[in-house]
Amino acid sequence: MNDPNTTVVAGIDLNHADIAGYLPEELGHLRYLALFHININHFCGTIPREFRNMKVLHELDLSNNRFAGKFLTVVISLPSLKFLDLRFNEFEGSVPNELFDKNLDAIFINHNRFQFELPKNFGNSSVSVIVLANNMKLVYHI
């Protein structure tokens, strides 16, 4: 955004705000959002597909809520994402192999219901911190 007369929302931080409800798809209109932190609340449901419009989203922290459903494939399409925190929710199913090819600094997906095997590309990950513990099933081969 190069227009100094235009106002944009660059960050949302609602940590520990005791908010409940669903995330509206209209959040996807915040194309210049770089930080979205809503941990320790009571949000539920799934993450809107419209989040893929957030091309500069750098940090996504949805931890300690009641989100459910499959892994957020929208995360894979976020080109600027560096920090992903999905821990302590009710996400389930498999974790896409593409997650480990992203240029992320941190991945926290522990304490969910994911069932997955560490993929062959796990070593491709550039993360400095990754936490996978306490999911339904984690298989790894030595």
**Comparing C-alpha atoms, which of 53, 139, 142, 62 is closest to residue 107?**
62
Tens digit of each residue's pLDDT (9 = 90 or more) over 104-131: 999 999 999 999 888 889 989 899 999 9
- Write out the H or E segment, with its range, that includes residue 75: helix 73-76
Give the per-residue pLDDT at 8.
87
Q: Which domains does the chain have, with CATH numbers?
A: 11-139 (3.80.10.10)
Amino acid at 15: N
pLDDT band at 137, cuts 50/70/90? Answer: confident
**Model-wide pTM > 0.85:** yes
Q: Please identify which residue in the block is written with the tokens 């984690």.
A: 138
